[in-house]
Structure formats: C-alpha cells, structure tokens
Amino acid sequence: MRRVRKIRIPVHRLEVGTVIPFTLLDERDQVLLFRGQTVTKAFLERLRRRAMTTVVAEVVEEVREEAAKEDVSLEVKMKTLSCLEDTMHGLAQGRHVSLEPLEEQVGAILEEVRAHEELVIPIVQLKRHDDFTFTHSLNVAIIALFIGKFLGLGREDLAQLGLGALFHDLGKLKIPPEILRKPSALSDDEWRIIREHPLVAKNLLDNQRALEDLVKFVPLEHHERLDGSGYPLRLGAEAIHLFSRIVAVADVYEALTSQRPYRKPMPVAEAVEYLMGNAGYRLDERVVRVFVAHLSPYQVGDVVRLSDGREAVVSRLNPVLPFRPCVAVRVPDGRGGYITEEIDLARSLTLTIVEELSMKSRVLLPS
Ligand SMILES: [Fe+2]
C-alpha cells in the first residue's frame, strides 16, 4: 500500500549538497524542491528570505496494511478534542453540562484501545502548540487507558478512568494563562495558585450530580505521591486510588516527552529512567512497570537514520525488541528509479538506529 505522509522538517536540518529523498513543500503545498534535487546555498537563502523555519516533506511510503495502524485514529482524537474543549469550558464556567457526548468519545477511544493487538503503547501523536492543556489531557487519557487495559481493568472501570483522565487538569482552566505558560521560575504565590488546580477541579465536578465519584478522584489526586510528598492533600500510599496512580504515571510521562512553550521534549529513554527512578517510592511500581514494559520508543512512520547513514521509515514495531523495529529504506531499482525494501532490525544485527530525524510524536499537526 502506498501512503503519502507529510512531515515537518526544520530548515536548519537542510544541508547544502544533500540530495532530497522527499519532495519539499511550503505551508500552502507549493513545491519548493522536487525529490532527487539537491539543496543549494541559493535555495536555503530563498527560504531564509521568506523567513521560513520549517518545510513540509511529502513522504511516499510503501507500507503493509497492518503496519499502518495508529494507537487511536486521528478522526476520533480530533472529535474528542473539540468535545473536550466544549465540555471543560462549560464546567469551568460552572454551567450544567451534559457529559454524554464526551462519554461517547471515551467509548470510541476505548474501542480502539481494546482492539489494539500489539503489545505496545505507541507514543501519542497528537500535539499542538496552542491549548496544550486539551491535547495533554487527551494524550494522558489515551496512555492511561492503555495502562488500564494492560493492568486488566474491565470495560466499566476503563470508561471511568478515561473520563477522569480527560478531566484531570480541569482546574487549570481557572489558572491565569500568564502563570501557566510562564517561561521563567514561578514565585511562591504563583506555585500556590498552580497547586490549587486539583481542588478547583474537584469543586467544579462536585456540581455535576450525574458524575461518579471515581471520576472526581482522578483530578483531585493526580498530583498526590505515594510517599506523601504530593499535593494538595499530601495523601499517603494507601489513600490514593488506583485510577489516580495510573493517571499520575501517564501525566508525568506525557508532560516530560512533549513540547512546551518553555522547553524541549525529553527523549523517551530519559523519561523512562525518570519513571523507573520514582517507581515504588513516589509512583506506583506496578503501574510504572506495566507502562514501561509496553512502551514503544518508535512509531510507524517515524523517520530515522541508520548506522550505515541511510534514512529509513519505521514500518513495523517489535513488541519484544522495541528498539529494533522493521524499517523501510529506498534502494535503486537499477532502472533509474527506487523500490522500497523492508529491513528487520531484529535480524540485521549490524544495523542500528542512530538518530531520530522526525518523530511522528513530535510532529505538530496543523491546528
Ligand atoms: Fe495537573
């Protein structure tokens, strides 16, 4: 199956003399450079004059049908995101809001999470610079549902976990954006305001009579830590609900590995180290273990550099050896064109991935 994928590439990655393996486009889909053409000084100068910081690569991939699976489809994510924005704004304004549309979306996510057969949690793809509270909430909910599924939770529990995870940062809607997005250190007063968001969320949700208590625990407890060092109630291990422990792990992981206005995403391996370092001490050990055991450092569609210098596209994940997925490379067909060949890195021991050129998880989707 041929699939066209668009990936943003920072202009500073383009080097003079490089033969481009993909057609490069601008934001309006106008071709800047055709596949096979060479990057010249004049070309880079032209981009600089247009003040362009990124270009769009049109990647044509030959992928197996079953390899094209996403964690949760983009359609469901986008629909959930708009539903979540409406519901959360309504709740934050103290209005009585019907939760049914959002519950339906949790059901749709759940269907996809449950149907996912591979024992991997693909890194969640949906990232936008704006409104990161909403995309963060959605990503955390998807990760939490995968963890819940691998912990063996039943459908009803998963539905409540999903809704609780979507609402975990509801209280942040009441925090002034200048504090939330402040790039420099926060003052004591600003920290105090931030640390109130779990209680704010609980109060807002208490007005919704139809809501199960279990759903409310998650926003209230997701910053509590097993050793009592969390906030706002400094609960100890025995008082923190399993759903809140799951969301705590998903929340920390998502926050560390995603782009923020004031910092770069942390590499997956480092974030895993951080989680493991806190397991059994601040974070629930079983939850961390289940998460890490199913985490995939790559996702189908990621563009990587191999140790022999070639660029490749991750075509299939390997649940047993997650750092050795199958990759697709382009090789000359002897007639002036190219064919795509798949290499199983678990079998090809001399080849490794040495660089991540474009992680799908880090690609910003147009908002
Ligand atoms: Fe939070």
Q: In this predicted model, what pLDDT tens digit does every residue of 140-183 receive, in sequence order?
A: 999 999 999 999 999 999 999 999 999 999 999 998 888 887 87
Q: How far apart are CA 362 and CA 257, in angstroms?
A: 9
285 and 137 housed in the same domain: yes
Q: What is the pLDDT of residue 367?
A: 28
76 and 29 housed in the same domain: no
Q: What is the pLDDT of residue 2?
A: 57
pLDDT over threshold 80, residue 310: yes
Q: What is the pLDDT of residue 3?
A: 63
223 and 148 housed in the same domain: yes
Q: Cβ(7)–Cβ(59) under 8 Å? A: yes
Which of 67-76, 123-132, 249-258, 333-342 is predicted least confidently? 123-132
Could you say which of 294, 317, 346 is where a domain stops? 294
Could you say which of 276, 294, 312 is where a domain stops? 294
Which CATH number belongs to the domain containing residue 80 in this structure? 1.10.3210.10
pLDDT average, residue stretch 351-359 = 79
pLDDT over threshold 90, residue 59: no
pLDDT over threshold 60, residue 129: no
Interval 320-347: pLDDT, tens: 777 788 999 888 777 777 778 889 998 8
How many whole angstroms from 358 Cα to the centroid of ligand 1? 28
- Does residue 34 belong to any structural domain of this protein? yes
How many whole angstroms from 310 Cα to the centroid of ligand 1? 41
How many whole angstroms from 89 Cα to the centroid of ligand 1? 16
SS3 64: coil
Q: What is the pLDDT of residue 319?
A: 72
Q: What is the pLDDT of residue 142?
A: 92
Q: Cβ(257)–Cβ(266) under 8 Å? A: yes
- Does residue 35 belong to any structural domain of this protein? yes
Q: How confident is the model at residue 87 (pLDDT cuts 50, 70, 90)?
A: very high
How many whole angstroms from 133 Cα to the centroid of ligand 1? 9
Q: How far apart are CA 327 and CA 313, in angstroms?
A: 5
Q: What is the pLDDT of residue 124?
A: 57
Highest mean pLDDT among 49-53, 120-124, 164-168, 354-358: 164-168
How many whole angstroms from 190 Cα to the centroid of ligand 1? 15
**Active-site option among 127, 172, 202, 216:** 172
Could you say which of 62, 80, 113 is where a domain stops? 62
Q: How far apart are CA 263 and CA 330, in angstroms?
A: 34
Q: Cβ(290)–Cβ(150) under 8 Å? A: yes
- Does residue 7 belong to any structural domain of this protein? yes
21 and 140 housed in the same domain: no
Q: How confident is the model at residue 120 (pLDDT cuts 50, 70, 90)?
A: low
Interval 2-23: pLDDT, tens: 566 777 788 887 878 777 777 8
State which amino acid sits at residue 51: A
Which CATH number belongs to the domain containing residue 32 in this structure? 3.90.105
Q: How confident is the model at residue 64 (pLDDT cuts 50, 70, 90)?
A: very low
How many whole angstroms from 218 Cα to the centroid of ligand 1? 10
- Does residue 107 belong to any structural domain of this protein? yes
Interval 242-259: pLDDT, tens: 999 999 999 999 888 877
How many whole angstroms from 169 Cα to the centroid of ligand 1? 5
272 and 217 housed in the same domain: yes
Domain that holds residue 31: 2-62
Which residue has better confidence, 327 or 73?
327
Asked about 264 being catalytic, the answer comes back as: no
In the chain, % of residues over pLDDT 70: 88
Q: How far apart are CA 360 and CA 8, in angstroms?
A: 9
Q: Cβ(322)–Cβ(352) under 8 Å? A: no
- Does residue 231 belong to any structural domain of this protein? yes
How many whole angstroms from 317 Cα to the centroid of ligand 1? 31
pTM check: above 0.85: no
- Does residue 32 belong to any structural domain of this protein? yes
Looking at residue 28, the DSSP 8-state letter turns out to be: T
261 and 178 housed in the same domain: yes
Q: What is the pLDDT of residue 70?
A: 62
Q: What is the pLDDT of residue 109?
A: 94
Highest mean pLDDT among 231-245, 293-307, 340-354: 231-245
State which amino acid sits at residue 172: K
Highest mean pLDDT among 89-93, 120-124, 283-287: 283-287
37 and 17 housed in the same domain: yes
134 and 220 housed in the same domain: yes
141 and 229 housed in the same domain: yes
How many whole angstroms from 364 Cα to the centroid of ligand 1? 23
pLDDT over threshold 90, residue 54: no
pLDDT average, residue stretch 30-39 = 81
157 and 188 housed in the same domain: yes
Task: Name the domain count of the chain.
Answer: 3
330 and 189 housed in the same domain: no
- Does residue 367 belong to any structural domain of this protein? no
Q: What is the pLDDT of residue 27?
A: 83
276 and 349 housed in the same domain: no
Tell me the average pLDDT of the chain: 83
Residues with CB under 5 A from ligand 1 (ion): 169
How many whole angstroms from 330 Cα to the centroid of ligand 1? 44
Looking at residue 337, the DSSP 8-state letter turns out to be: S
pLDDT over threshold 80, residue 98: yes
Q: What is the pLDDT of residue 301?
A: 78
- Does residue 43 belong to any structural domain of this protein? yes
How many whole angstroms from 247 Cα to the centroid of ligand 1? 10
How many whole angstroms from 168 Cα to the centroid of ligand 1? 6
Q: Is residue 310 packed enough to be buried (19+ CB in 10 Å), middle (13-18) or exposed (0-12)? A: middle
pLDDT over threshold 80, residue 287: yes
Please give, one letter per residue, the 3-state secondary structure of the chain.
CEEEEEEEEEHHHCCCCCECCCEEECCCCCEEECCCCECCHHHHHHHHHCCCCEEEEEEEEECCHHHHCCCCCHHHHHHHHHHHHHHHHHHHCCCCCCCHHHHHHHHHHHHHHHHCCCCCECCCCCCCCCCHHHHHHHHHHHHHHHHHHHCCCCHHHHHHHHHHHHCCCHHHHHCCHHHHCCCCCCCHHHHHHHHCHHHHHHHHHHCCCCCCHHHHHHHHHCCCCCCCCCCCCCCCHHHCCHHHHHHHHHHHHHHHHCCECCECCCCHHHHHHHHHHHECCCECHHHHHHHHHHECCCCCCCEEEECCCCEEEEEECCCCCCCCCEEEEEEECCCCCEEEEEEECCCCCCCCEEEEEECHHHCCCCC
